[in-house]
Amino acid sequence: MADNNAKLSVNGKEYEFPIIEGTLGRPVIDIAALQDSGFWSYDPGFKVTAPVESKITYIDGGKGELLHRGYPIDQLANNAEYLEVAYALIH
């Protein structure tokens, strides 16, 4: 989208929400301002809703991916030393 916004039309009224591009994965529609419209969102099972923004972790539950600073978590757990993981967490 050129304007980088998603539009939602309800009962003839239009609402706009910013689209956020992450480093990995799909773009995200920020619906935080939806509460101002008088509506709620419904996402059964919390399947397509990100509860927080992270600059160091990427999760794709459907694919079974968990990355920390770009490294698969199993690679860190199996191959990295304690200090290497601690450094990655801090820096």
Q: How far apart are CA 61 and CA 54, in angstroms?
A: 15
Identify which of 79, 45, 41, 76 has the alpha carbon closest to the alpha carbon of residue 62.
45
CATH 2.20.28.60 domain span(s) along the chain: 1-49
* Token pair in block for residue 75: 């690679």
Mean pLDDT of 80-84: 94
pLDDT digit string, tens, across residues 5-24: 999 999 999 999 999 988 88
pTM over 0.85: no
CATH number for the domain whose boundaries are 1-49:
2.20.28.60
State which amino acid sits at residue 9: S
DSSP string, 52-89: S--SSEEEETTTTEEEETTEEHHHHHHH--HHHHHHHH
Name the strand (E) or helix (H) holding 15.
Answer: strand 13-20
pLDDT digit string, tens, across residues 23-43: 888 899 999 999 989 999 998
